[in-house]
Amino acid sequence: MRPPAPSLADRLRHDLEQGQILDQDRRYLMLRADVLMGLFAELEPAARTQALRALGRSVQRHGAGSVQAYARLLAGGPEGAAPSDPSTAFPSRASAESRAAQALLGDMAAAAATLGWGVWEFEPDGEALRLTVRNSPFAAAARDLGLHGEPVCHAIAGMAAALGRVLWSAPAEVTESCAAQGPPGAPLRCVFHLRPPGRDPSSGTHHLEETEP
């Protein structure tokens, strides 16, 4: 039996000599959530929406390499940078309920917790997936900064879209009901719906309208 793939928590390396945090060749940065979201609080509403969407697209683009790397490790491939073609990293993309998909979703949830991105829970939703995120750092910081009435978890939506590229060979269509849109004191619970391209979207706010497939 093949030993389980190492988790992101086990793979992260703090290189104090070079002042960097690495997972193989992928560099991470520790940053306070209020510092990041404070940037968006400084912007006018229209500019803030554009900047949040840009963050989501950037996470989708660059996070795809991490998702593919996780899938490759789970499939027993060599460590290191994943191939640009997701079909060579993930052996079974037909069903989000397959064993391979469930292993990848579990690894994604563990990685999110490791990086402080909240508690992620994936559930099948027909041909799609529902992702519930408790204690999103983006929503929590936005509330504290007084950003109400608009979704702010574009980074999570971007990673979800990147996950769709591995599961369905194209970025997922992502909608969200964001905790930051609720009243102060309400539970920090964001719900994302991930669908293969072309499926009917559920109610919620589209994050990545400007993203090309």
| CATH value at residue 93 | 3.30.1380
The answer to whether residue 80 scores a pLDDT higher than 90 is no
Tell me what the mean pLDDT of segment 193-198 comes to: 88
Structural domain harbouring 66: 8-206
Whole-number pLDDT of residue 75: 80
Nearest to 138, CA basis, from 33, 32, 29, 31: 33
Scan for tokens 């290191």, then name that residue: 80
Task: Tell me the pLDDT of the chain averaged across its residues.
Answer: 84
Burial of 9 (0-12, 13-18, 19+ CB in 10 A): exposed
From the DSSP assignment, how many helices (H) and strands (E) are in the chain?
6, 8
The token pair at 174 is: 């992502």
How far CA 25 is from CA of 12, 34, 92, 144, in Å, comes to 10, 27, 26, 34
Does residue 212 sit within a domain?
no
Is residue 72 included in any domain, yes or no?
A: yes
How many structural domains is the chain composed of? 1
- Specify the higher pLDDT residue, 82 or 3: 3
- Is 35 domain-assigned? yes
**Model confidence band, residue 181 (pLDDT cutoffs 50, 70, 90):** confident
| Statement: residue 202 has pLDDT above 80 | no
